[in-house]
A and B are shown apart, each in its own frame.
Chain A
Amino acid sequence: MTEFKVPELGENVASGDVAKVLVSVGDTVKKEQPVIELETDKATIEVPSSVSGVVKEIKVKKGDKVSVGAVIFTVDDGGAAGNGAGKAAAPPPPAAAPAEAKPEPKPEPRPEPKAEAKPEPKAEAKVVSMPPRQPVEAPAAPAAATPAAATPAAPAPSNLMPAAASPAVRRLAREIGVDINAVVGSGPAGRISQEDVKEHARRILSSVGSAGAPAAGGLAARASRPMPDFAKWGEVQREAWSNIRRVTSEHLSYSWNTVPHVTQFDKADVTALEELRKKYKDQVVKAGGNLTVTSMLVKILATAIQKFPQFNASIDPDRGEIVYKKYVNIGVAADTDRGLLVPVIKDAGRKNITQISVELQELAAKARDRKLTVEEMSGGSMSLSNLGGIGGTYFTPIINWPEVAILGVSRGATEPVWKDGQFVPRQTLPLSLSYDHRLIDGADAIRFLRWVVEAIEQPFLLSLIG
């Protein structure tokens, strides 16, 4: 008997929802055969078996939340027939893997909507283990403030004693969204009074106010407003928020709230580029890709951010540093039936347009088939969002934080352009560049965008000066 457990899924991915179980009891599985589909925060991962044998018992079902290390099924590897391969091939015990599925409190929007609760280990106070208290030196630290969530969690365990606070004081803290374990008690033996809780809350509020960053997670920032009863006006249907939608929402809200966005527009003449594209299209098809405006723009952006390194950077406000990246990876936003995904073309600076086209084709197929891994969606330098296939003139894309810029592309058109004393029909492409004004000034941004436009208009420049 060998157990097959959830293997390491990727960086920062500890769990997922079982989207599909691809085997049934009695099936013979081989190594590398896909056995379940896991929907993680960003990707649906097809998990291949690391064991072979006859499936004896399946321990998960569709919809279950499973963590790395949780048993998916057991196989009968035929006792003696098992040459130890099953065991040897079992995934290495991941260092941080919990032995059993961690119950994560699912935030439920009923009866009142609320900010997303961080998945915390369920802290259930029992006779046996008292939830001990967190050492907090600086009560004003924003981290000490528990966002006002509808489902307040019990204090998280650490190594110290639980807060010395009476039930009534605990209730007050909960009601106003203060973590009782973060409050310093002024009474004998560190006892916490109602006044201590209020004082703590006042300090949090003033520190949030003075920091001027409501998005930092202060008390007021995340309180959501009550929803009206929509059913009053007609029939409504409620559906669960999918993982991808939820993560997209959090991610974009964070970026929008954190990054001062400016969007700069320009228009490029793509007549010459289009001619080249048509000319070499078939050659790229033969290589297994599609020569598209997107693939050419990936190459152009990859070259441009090497010229303008502040576009390949991130801000680390905690350390007061700018992180300049020596790698060149371009994210490409993809519209899938499940929502927005951004696969990343790694090392795009060193790849030619044919290679990029082929890779884009592969990533797009994976995105559609829900097979993109988290790795394939991480580590971007700058992103590209091409909505031109659908339409639009200009738009204001949101930066894919911690990146600092994103290029939006809208629908190209044939327009009259004044050239050499007359109007001539030219194909133009509207471009929208959003950038993080904390790092990039308007002049730099337009210099960057002009460079991109010129590279589009005179593709030869890519080779000449790129």
Chain B
Amino acid sequence: MAQTTQIAVLGAGPGGYAAAFYAADLGMQVTLIDEEKNPGGVCLYRGCIPSKALLHVAKVVDEATHASKWGVTYGAPSIDVDKLRAYKQGVVDKLTAGVGSVAKLRKVNFVQGRATLTGPTSLTVKTAAGEEEIQFQHLILAVGSSPTKIPSLSLDSPRMMDSTSALDLPDVPKSLLVIGGGYIGLELGTVYATLGSKVSVVEMTGGLLPGADRDLVQPLEKRLKTLFAAIMVNTKVVKVAEEKNGIRVTFEGDVAEKEQLFDRVLVSIGRRPNSKVPGLEKTRVKVDAKGFIETDPQRRTAEPSIFAIGDVAGEPMLAHKASHEARVAVEAIAGHKAVFEPQAIPAVVFTDPEIAWCGLTETQAKEQNVDVEVAKFPWGALSRAITVDRPDGLTKLVLEKSTGRVLGVGISGSGAGELIAEGVLAIEMGASAEDLKMVIHPHPTLSESVMESAEVFFGQSTHVYKPKKK
């Protein structure tokens, strides 16, 4: 006898479990299906969370090293990789178990296993106990994404890593090549470099973090140049081959040494949606050329009973986008007229310094010919940044010229990821520079930079003398 459920959610990442929990909160009967023991998905098991645990450690190591400048010397760190791995694993276990117990409290039926769709309203799950058939009224596909693999970089060797295996922290290699200068490569590269690896980064385009405004990337680039052994831009990896002592990598582009040997190689060139859901062809769900499942603004697919959210439903592939889409889809199922129309989705790169932005970037404003004025406040004039000896930062507002309305916010600096939330709120609320300027910000904090950059727009910043041109 098949189980029946009002809503089945396939994939228990931050999209899937948010959908399941919200649906349960609205009084629906929910079945959540995932291959892992607990909800969590890539984010908790193999992404945001373990990487942030490791980056925290990296930051502590880095600060301890810099403390000698302030008169406190600790000596070289001794790193116990097993213990570090256990700490990271402890964080993951704690969070996933926590989400699992919240699922139980909400009476969400969590099924561990691999699902195959058998039609627009049914699926089967292969569990440890056998096969289970589930009939549903609505299905939310939240099956996520996986690291991109390309044939020329596919080499069956333990020395070759993707983000998942790199987070397993097998060891601290002497030398590590990171292929791809996006946020995943830079975050993991920072971890390994701080732990003692000689890290090189290779990026095909002309700069790190393609897509972000250059003035935001600049403080990071400056710091990474001292942390990393090499940053090779405009360079392509054309061949990887295993040798006795490592991986021989052949480069093409702006690099002098065309062949180099590395202990390990991390391939972080992006992620691909997991749209090859078994049995999907038994439904009318459509997949676009890039592999994303096509949805309408409510996240409903071409099959009316099926919704898709998160990485599998389109860019940007970010956990917080998925969780928001989860709410839209569940509300749509509940009969509300919810649609996905955020004015700003924040992006954060958790390097040191961090880079965060939301809304319109300066680059996009130029490309789209939007008449904007950019107000910048350098952290060199920010008291809080000076007290922690981190003046390498910048807060900037992209403002509509005629009204001063906040269209975009970009922040670079230690703690930028926390600060960006105010920018998102400002954009969503339709706030103007005048509003930001007139909100009292606590002193001395990094958040003052948001208020002061708004003052810069009026040529009245307390700590930066930059009179407005008449």
Contacts and interface: CB of A to CB of B under 8 A. Distances in A.
Interface of A: 63, 100, 103, 105-106, 108-112, 122-131, 150-155, 161-167, 170-171, 174-175, 185, 187-192
Interface in B137-185: none
Contacts of B429: 166, 191
A180 B14 CA distance: 29
Contacts of A127: 316, 344-345, 347, 358-359
Contact of A106 (B302, B333, B400): B302
A103 B339 contact: no
Contacts of A152: 297-298, 337, 339
A187 B430 contact: yes
A165 B297 contact: no
A122 B296 contact: yes
Contacts of A155: 341
B277 interface: no
B304 A162 contact: no
Complex A-B, nearest 8 residue pairs according to Cβ-Cβ distance, in ascending order? A164-B430, A189-B403, A108-B304, A189-B432, A189-B405, A105-B296, A191-B430, A154-B297
Chain B: interface size category:
35 or more
A382 B390 CA distance: 80
Given A164-B430, A188-B435, A154 B340 contact: yes
Contacts of B431: 189, 191
B364 A128 contact: yes
B294 A103 contact: yes
A109 B336 CA distance: 14
A130 B403 contact: no
A109 B300 CA distance: 12
Given A125-B342, A190-B405, 16 more contacts: A100-B289, A111-B333, A124-B297, A124-B340, A127-B345, A130-B407, A150-B337, A151-B298, A151-B300, A155-B341, A161-B370, A161-B407, A174-B339, A188-B432, A189-B430, A189-B434
Nearest to A176: B337
A153 B341 CA distance: 9
A124 B328 CA distance: 13
Interface string B373-401: 00000000000000000000000000010
A131 B339 CA distance: 13
A153 B297 contact: yes
B62 interface: no
A405 B286 CA distance: 44
A174 B336 CA distance: 10
Contact of B345 (A110, A126, A154): A126
Nearest to A150: B337
9 contacts: A111-B333, A124-B314, A126-B345, A127-B359, A130-B343, A152-B298, A153-B339, A161-B405, A166-B430
Interface in B273-297: 284, 286, 288-289, 294, 296-297
B439 to A, nearest CB: 14
A125 B298 CA distance: 12
Interface string B395-422: 0000010011101000000000000000
Interface of B is mostly: loop
A126 B315 contact: yes
A369 to B, nearest CB: 28
B296 A151 contact: yes
Given A127-B347, A130-B407, A151-B298, A165 B341 contact: no
Contacts of A130: 343, 359-360, 407
Nearest to B296: A105
Contacts of B294: 103, 122
Interface of B: 211, 284, 286, 288-289, 294, 296-298, 300, 302, 304-305, 314-316, 333, 335-345, 347, 358-361, 364, 368, 370, 400, 403-405, 407, 428-432, 434-435
B126 to A, nearest CB: 29
Nearest to A106: B302
Interface of A is mostly: loop
Contacts of B345: 126-127
A110 B305 contact: yes
A286 B101 CA distance: 85
Contacts of A174: 337-339
Contacts of A129: 364, 368
A182 B159 CA distance: 57
B137 to A, nearest CB: 9
Given A124-B314, A152-B337, A174-B337, A189 B400 contact: yes
Contacts of A110: 304-305
B297 A123 contact: yes
Contacts of B358: 127
A131 B341 contact: yes
A175 B336 CA distance: 8
**Residue among B284, B341, B407, B431 with max Cβ neighbours from chain A (10 Å):** B341
A167 to B, nearest CB: 6
Contacts of B333: 111
A161 B345 CA distance: 16
A254 B400 CA distance: 43
Nearest to A155: B341
Contacts of B340: 124-125, 154
Contacts of A163: 430
A129 B288 CA distance: 19
A152 B288 CA distance: 22
Contacts of A151: 296-298, 300
B400 A126 contact: no
B360 to A, nearest CB: 6
A333 B171 CA distance: 78
Nearest to A123: B297
A126 B297 CA distance: 12
A164 B405 contact: yes
B405 A103 contact: no
A424 B405 CA distance: 87
Contacts of B288: 103
A114 B164 CA distance: 46
Contact of B343 (A111, A124, A162, A189): A162
Contacts of B302: 106
B341 A188 contact: no
Contacts of A185: 430
B353 to A, nearest CB: 20
Contacts of A105: 296-297
**Residue among B286, B297, B358 with max Cβ neighbours from chain A (10 Å):** B297
A323 B460 CA distance: 63
Contacts of A125: 340-343
Nearest to B429: A166
A166 B400 CA distance: 17
A110 B211 CA distance: 39
Contacts of A123: 297
Contact of B339 (A128, A154, A165, A192): A154
Nearest to A162: B343
A223 to B, nearest CB: 12
Contacts of B360: 130
B283 to A, nearest CB: 12
